[in-house]
């Protein structure tokens, strides 16, 4: 088991390799993991796991910075915390 396979199995414990007409693909249930990113088909199992790991990482990054996830109260709270840190830093420099 290589590092790509471990990363995918950590997020999708039921992931498995399926041999099809187009080559090898990694599925979790009925979902092809790299479908959304149009990963090319491959005949090498290690490369298939690598594509699935890349798809997991990209999905996580997109979900982290998705605009629908951010609302105005989150942004206001974040800005308030930043301003508090700046004020504390300025007071510490003056003393």
pLDDT at 2: 87
- The answer, yes or no, to whether residue 1 has pLDDT greater than 90, is no
Residues 6 or more apart in contact with residue 57 via CB below 8 angstroms: 7
The 3-state DSSP class for residue 19 equals strand
Q: Per-residue pLDDT tens for 76-94?
A: 888 899 999 998 888 877 7
Domain residues for the domain of 19 are: 3-94
Bridge partners, residue 20, by sequence: 23
- The answer, yes or no, to whether residue 37 has pLDDT greater than 80, is yes
Residue 33 CB burial class (10 angstroms; 0-12, 13-18, ≥19): buried
Eight-state DSSP code of residue 25 = E
* This prediction's pTM: 0.65
- How many domains does the structure of the chain reveal? 1
pLDDT at 84: 92
d(CA 44, CA 47): 5
């Amino acid at each position: 088991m290589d590092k790509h396979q471990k990363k995918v199995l950590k997020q999708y414990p039921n992931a498995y390799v399926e041999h099809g007409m187009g080559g090898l693909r990694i599925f979790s249930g009925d979902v092809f993991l790299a479908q959304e990113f149009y990963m090319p088909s491959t005949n090498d199992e290690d490369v298939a796991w690598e594509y699935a790991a890349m798809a997991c990482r990209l999905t996580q990054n997109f979900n982290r910075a998705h605009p629908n996830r951010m609302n105005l109260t989150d942004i206001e709270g974040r800005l308030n915390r930043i301003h508090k840190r700046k004020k504390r830093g300025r007071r510490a420099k003056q003393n």
